Structure 1
Amino acid sequence: MHSTVILIEFGAIILGLGLLGRFAGRLGLSPIPLYLLAGLAFGEGGLLPLGASEEFVAIGAEIGVILLLLMLGLEYTAADLVGNLKAQYPAGLVDMALNALPGAAMALLLGWGPVAAVVLAGVTWISSSGVIAKVLADLGRLGNRETPVILSILVMEDLAMAVYLPILTALLAGTGWVAGGLTLAVALSVAGLVLFAAVRYGRVISRFVSSDDPEKLLLVVLGLTLLVAGIAQQLQVSAAVGAFLVGIALSGEVAEGAHTLLSPLRDLFAAVFFVFFGLHTDPASIPPVLLPALALAVLTAGTKVATGYWAARRARVSARGRWRAGGALVARGEFSIVIAGLAVTAGIEPALGPLATAYVLILVIAGPLTARWTEPLARRLAERRRARTPGDPAHGRPAAEEATEPAPVPD
């Protein structure tokens, strides 16, 4: 009887997610906010709380995070990763300073303490790689000059998690400085070892995994990823970071084949992950934190735009491309929820989960809109400013003349 209830509940969840995803697609929006809302509806204090299938959903959610990071790693080769880090590391430092500090400051202003400040700094720092990649593809901007800048920042954020997550895990566990330092040392050593193996022996690993049979390729890639993720987690390294480094180690036809085979699984379990986070948030707890979440969303949307603009300017991208880069980075999503979920599980601050949920909901909806409209809005404002300043040498000159690159595909 218990297994029957699990099948019914989980089947209803999957069916509901499919319908929500279809509805979001018709509206041209990311389905993530709808998945979070579904979790709120079926979670604690929701319309129809789940019971029997919650543990099963929790396992699916963990697999979802692992697959999200694996698929992101498949987008890059180890050589590309090292090259991007060397060229764009100043942009990564600016990104951290502009976007992590507002979250830390908000937590301290709310009186939540230093550990919650570290958590909220991570929530506001990391952009959503999944949402941003989808938006760039939908807008036809994958070939634009600013896109490598955007991807470099996303990669550096993901790599920074290899340092940040072990530190956060140690803080949440309440371990001392010695134990925390040892955890970080082990985490960095494991991450460095896997990255070294990816750079030095990536082709060997790819040949080992390679198979002409899609079934065997799927089983080997998925099994290897879950194995490495589990070992990484056992060594106090994030399982997600382990999966990301496995993705980087695979290249060529193996990466392309794995991407094709695993995409449906990623979408399924990623949706389960967002629902799982919503399940653990009481909807009644969101209204009290809605105002600080909105203020934080507005502030950090501005800092992300400034980050992208600065990084693209440093890469000598045109003014229009700079605004597009800034607008594309606004969305927050999977990593913000992962970080907040760790804090919720540890019981650090009851209001932290609801604030993070509201914050992500706001920016995951606003992100695709800012990606589409930041550059046109900036262009119109510049045209109005020139029109009001007859003495300006650019007075009367079309904004398109400022561009040093072909215009993007029309939205």
Structure 2
Amino acid sequence: MGGAFVAAAVLARLGSRIGLPTIPLFILAGMLLGPHTPGYVLVDDPHQLEMLSALGLVLLLFYLGLEFHVEDLKTGGRKMALAGGAYLALNVTAGFGFGLALGWGLSEALVLAGVLGISSSAIVTKVLVDLGRIGNPESRPILGIIVVEDIFLALYLAALQPVISGADSMASAAGQAAKAFGFLLVLAVAARWGTRLIGRLIATKDDELLVISFLGAVVLVAGIAEEFGVADAIGAFMVGLMLGNTTSGGRIRELVHPLRDAFGAIFFFAFGLSIDPGDLPLVVWPVLIAAAVTIAMNVLAALFAARIYGFGRGPAANVATTLLARGEFALILATMSANAGLDRRLGPFIAGYVLVLAVLAPLAAGRSHWLARVLPDVGRRRKAVAAAG
């Protein structure tokens, strides 16, 4: 485990010098030091890190839940819902269609709909901060789209779990889905009306006790979620949603941050261990086509957002390139599909796709002015029409 942390840290430090995000570098470290690559093997059995990897996944989604605020939807209003809905509709539909075109199976196509459809919150936020754009006007719809994606994520995972787990019949699948949504409904009710009580139960001035309390709660609920047919990650997300709105929410965000980073790195490293680089050539063309499809859908979604908000070419290009990255959620789906015994090509495909876009997105975002030169100025056109009217 120590070797895994050090290897991931060294490679990430080297990559950060040329502006690369950490997620694909952690995956690459796992691939290079895993049992499928010639040379020194640090971990010969990926299952040795299975529990730590699961904890990393749980903490990643818990943190996303902490960052999500219901008030964001109220303040964003109709524009945020339209921009986020359009983004999801374009990318998820394209992902599902792409999956069907590959001919790998319906369950695999449903997984690919999520893989191609949802951006990496971690990389998107990091790109905005690194480029100093967090205060730009277009950053508000970018973060709004991330919020809409988070809501979709909860519903999508709950619906997907019984499908890919191989329910025996439609009735069985419907029963599993009903049980999963029922459990989510209980958590949603607790998040909506039980925040004050939960806040009192979790509140303490002692940081040590607070860490033990929220960590115990998130892991326990994640485990119970699995028993109800809900992905452990989404159970963790709902706990984050609850605790993030308590009076201790700010302190919890600060305290969980290093835990999320450390165990999240192990999750990405362990995923890299499971990938055989020899399988990547089999999916090279699907990966490149999928990346091209994602770029096209992102541009269309950005133009739609620019029209809604009245943005010019530059902000539209920033929206398109910043939201391009795919990361943690795609890898969650890869883990779920592997556990469900779906097509073994999904793992290498998702790894290659995430690596390509996680590297391309920050580079493209820093050079978005190149894209801006060729985009139509739909926002300004709309303003001109409105002024004429």
Residue 239 of structure 1 is matched in structure 2 by 232
Residue 347 of structure 1 is matched in structure 2 by 341
The answer to whether residue 60 in structure 2 is matched with residue 68 in structure 1 is yes
8 Å Cα contact 1:163/1:184 also seen in 2 = no
Gaps of 5+ in 2: 385-389
Superposed displacement of residue 58, structure 1:
1.1
- Aligned partner of 1:88 among 80, 92, 102: 80
Residue 130 of structure 1 is matched in structure 2 by 122
- Aligned partner of 1:203 among 179, 190, 196: 196
8 Å Cα contact 2:62/2:239 also seen in 1 = yes
Separation in structure 1 between the aligned mates of residue 302 and residue 52 of structure 2, nearest angstrom: 34
8 Å Cα contact 2:16/2:22 also seen in 1 = yes
The answer to whether residue 288 in structure 2 is matched with residue 297 in structure 1 is no
Give the letter aligned to residue 240 of structure 1.
A
Give the letter aligned to residue 39 of structure 1.
G
Give the letter aligned to residue 70 of structure 2.
A
The answer to whether residue 19 in structure 2 is matched with residue 28 in structure 1 is yes
Residue 107 of structure 2 is matched in structure 1 by 115
Q: In structure 2, do the counterparts of structure 1 residues 85 and 179 end up closer, same or farther at CA, with 3 Å as the change threshold?
A: farther
Separation in structure 2 between the aligned mates of residue 317 and residue 189 of structure 1, nearest angstrom: 41
8 Å Cα contact 2:302/2:319 also seen in 1 = yes
Residue 151 of structure 2 is matched in structure 1 by 159
Separation in structure 1 between the aligned mates of residue 132 and residue 306 of structure 2, nearest angstrom: 18
The Cα offsets for residues 129-149 of structure 1, whole Å up to 9 and x where unpaired, read as 111111111122222222221
Residue 183 of structure 1 is matched in structure 2 by 176
Residue 338 of structure 1 is matched in structure 2 by 332
Separation in structure 2 between the aligned mates of residue 53 and residue 283 of structure 1, nearest angstrom: 16
| Partner secondary structure for residue 365 of structure 1 | helix
The answer to whether residue 131 in structure 2 is matched with residue 143 in structure 1 is no
8 Å Cα contact 2:325/2:357 also seen in 1 = yes
Q: How does 1:260-271 map to 2 (within 5 A)?
A: 260-271=254-265
Give the letter aligned to residue 299 of structure 2.
V
Q: In structure 2, do the counterparts of structure 1 residues 263 and 93 end up closer, same or farther at CA, with 3 Å as the change threshold?
A: same
- Aligned partner of 2:322 among 328, 348, 352: 328
Separation in structure 2 between the aligned mates of residue 151 and residue 192 of structure 1, nearest angstrom: 25
Give the letter aligned to residue 280 of structure 2.
I
Separation in structure 2 between the aligned mates of residue 116 and residue 245 of structure 1, nearest angstrom: 26
| Partner secondary structure for residue 248 of structure 2 | helix
Superposed displacement of residue 123, structure 1:
0.9
Larger Rg: 1
The Cα offsets for residues 84-114 of structure 1, whole Å up to 9 and x where unpaired, read as 5765333333223211233223332322121
Q: In structure 2, do the counterparts of structure 1 residues 62 and 312 end up closer, same or farther at CA, with 3 Å as the change threshold?
A: farther
Superposed displacement of residue 79, structure 1:
3.0
The Cα offsets for residues 343-388 of structure 1, whole Å up to 9 and x where unpaired, read as 12222212111111111100000111222222x1244447xx99xx
Residue 226 of structure 1 is matched in structure 2 by 219
| Partner secondary structure for residue 367 of structure 2 | helix
Q: In structure 2, do the counterparts of structure 1 residues 220 and 369 end up closer, same or farther at CA, with 3 Å as the change threshold?
A: same
Superposed displacement of residue 323, structure 1:
2.3
Give the letter aligned to residue 126 of structure 1.
I
Q: Which has the higher mean CA deviation after the structures are superposed, 198-207 or 266-275?
A: 198-207
Separation in structure 2 between the aligned mates of residue 343 and residue 55 of structure 1, nearest angstrom: 16
Separation in structure 1 between the aligned mates of residue 5 and residue 35 of structure 2, nearest angstrom: 19
- Aligned partner of 2:6 among 10, 15, 21: 15
Q: In structure 2, do the counterparts of structure 1 residues 38 and 204 end up closer, same or farther at CA, with 3 Å as the change threshold?
A: same
Residue 363 of structure 1 is matched in structure 2 by 357
Give the letter aligned to residue 329 of structure 1.
L
Separation in structure 2 between the aligned mates of residue 73 and residue 22 of structure 1, nearest angstrom: 28
Give the letter aligned to residue 226 of structure 1.
V
The Cα offsets for residues 243-298 of structure 1, whole Å up to 9 and x where unpaired, read as 22222222365222111111111111111111111111111000121122011102
Q: Percent identity?
A: 36
The answer to whether residue 268 in structure 2 is matched with residue 274 in structure 1 is yes
Residue 306 of structure 1 is matched in structure 2 by 300
| Partner secondary structure for residue 361 of structure 1 | helix
Q: Which has the higher mean CA deviation after the structures are superposed, 68-77 or 269-278?
A: 68-77
Q: In structure 2, do the counterparts of structure 1 residues 182 and 88 end up closer, same or farther at CA, with 3 Å as the change threshold?
A: farther
Give the letter aligned to residue 150 of structure 1.
I
Gaps of 5+ in 1: 1-9, 387-393, 395-401, 403-411
Q: In structure 2, do the counterparts of structure 1 residues 381 and 116 end up closer, same or farther at CA, with 3 Å as the change threshold?
A: closer
Q: In structure 2, do the counterparts of structure 1 residues 80 and 163 end up closer, same or farther at CA, with 3 Å as the change threshold?
A: same
Q: Which has the higher mean CA deviation after the structures are superposed, 104-113 or 315-324?
A: 315-324
| Partner secondary structure for residue 27 of structure 1 | coil
Separation in structure 1 between the aligned mates of residue 201 and residue 72 of structure 2, nearest angstrom: 22
The Cα offsets for residues 20-63 of structure 1, whole Å up to 9 and x where unpaired, read as 22222222210111111112123342134455763341111111
Give the letter aligned to residue 201 of structure 1.
G
Q: TM-score, normalised by structure 1?
A: 0.84
What is the aligned residue count? 376
RMSD, matched Cα? 2.4
Separation in structure 1 between the aligned mates of residue 311 and residue 235 of structure 2, nearest angstrom: 33
8 Å Cα contact 2:35/2:41 also seen in 1 = yes
